[in-house]
């Protein structure tokens, strides 16, 4: 079921998204060689709680999976998404994806970005740049009357034309009343297909792009998704609202 949100619901979602965006900016400012992913997790959790909200990922479980144990996802280099924060210290030259979800007043916001740890290789910088640009290209297609796969195809075409590959086992999603709602939003597909986009939809669009092959696997912890070939991956995400026929990005501060 695809939920169309009322103005009151959108206001609640907007508040959760504001906290997400501010948390991501705070985390980005703390990324440096030597900081641990657990320290980043604690910074995020403290800030979210200071806004009378809660971390949406903590304790989250789907399909009988072990509940997620942290407040954010921190995925380093070949970790695509869902990396669990811990004692790992970030190193110069790595890239880290930071994914934040917030729950407040019964509604959710969700966004992510990838950050360079100090100076990084040119290829990793290009990977991040292309991934981020593909997100905005996809968002441009989220207009009233378009189809879900118009977003998907736009992302895929841009990424692949730049020599990178799209992760196919994971996708974006509706977000607002629940953390994950219909419709699913893959980052590949055929234009003109999928559910029709309507005013009042709130969608989390999130390209996950690999420098190597598109294939991925899940690590031993049951959560961390890694590239099958060990190549680095980047991830960017925004929650958007379709309003007045056009997309509005909600996860910006």
Average pLDDT rounded to a whole number, residues 18-41: 98
pLDDT in tens, 124-160: 999 999 999 999 999 999 999 999 999 999 999 999 9
65: pLDDT confidence band, cut at 50, 70 and 90? confident
The predicted pLDDT at position 11 comes to 98
The predicted pLDDT at position 75 comes to 98
Q: Which helix (H) or strand (E) holds 75?
A: strand 72-76
**pTM of the full predicted structure?**
0.97
Cα–Cα distance list, 91 to 69, 120, 131, 164 (Å)? 23, 10, 22, 24
Average pLDDT rounded to a whole number, residues 1-21: 98
Q: How far apart are CA 147 and CA 153, in angstroms?
A: 10
- What domains are defined for the chain? 7-249 (3.90.230.10)
Average pLDDT rounded to a whole number, residues 201-212: 98
DSSP secondary structure letter of residue 162: T
The predicted pLDDT at position 62 comes to 78
Q: Which residues partner with 237 through β-bridges?
A: 112
pLDDT in tens, 157-204: 999 999 999 999 999 999 999 999 999 999 999 999 999 999 999 999
- Name the nearest CA neighbour of 163 among 231, 208, 121, 211: 211
Q: How far apart are CA 206 and CA 239, in angstroms?
A: 9
The predicted pLDDT at position 34 comes to 98
The predicted pLDDT at position 238 comes to 98
SS3 181: strand
């Amino acid at each position: 079921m695809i939920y169309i949100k009322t103005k009151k619901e959108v206001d609640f979602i907007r508040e959760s998204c504001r906290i997400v965006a501010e948390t991501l900016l705070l985390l980005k400012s703390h990324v440096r060689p030597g900081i641990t992913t657990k320290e980043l997790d604690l910074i995020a959790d403290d800030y979210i709680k200071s806004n009378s909200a809660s971390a949406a990922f903590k304790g989250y479980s789907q399909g009988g999976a072990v509940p997620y144990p942290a407040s954010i996802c921190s995925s380093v280099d070949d970790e695509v998404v869902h990396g669990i924060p811990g004692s790992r210290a970030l190193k110069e030259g790595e890239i880290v994806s930071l994914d934040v979800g917030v729950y407040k007043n019964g509604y959710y916001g969700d966004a992510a970005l990838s950050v360079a740890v100090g100076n990084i290789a040119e290829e990793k910088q290009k990977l991040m740049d292309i991934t981020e640009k593909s997100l905005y290209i996809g968002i441009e297609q989220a207009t009233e009357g378009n189809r879900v796969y118009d977003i998907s195809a736009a992302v895929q075409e841009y990424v692949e034309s730049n020599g990178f590959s799209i992760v196919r086992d994971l996708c974006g999603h509706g977000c607002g009343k629940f953390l994950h709602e219909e419709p699913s939003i893959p980052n590949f597909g055929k234009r003109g297909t999928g559910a029709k986009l309507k005013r009042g939809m709130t969608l989390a669009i999130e390209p996950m792009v690999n420098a190597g092959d598109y294939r991925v696997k899940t690590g031993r912890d049951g959560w961390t998704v890694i590239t099958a070939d060990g190549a680095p991956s980047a991830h960017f995400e925004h929650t958007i609202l379709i309003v007045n026929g056009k997309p509005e990005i909600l996860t910006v501060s």
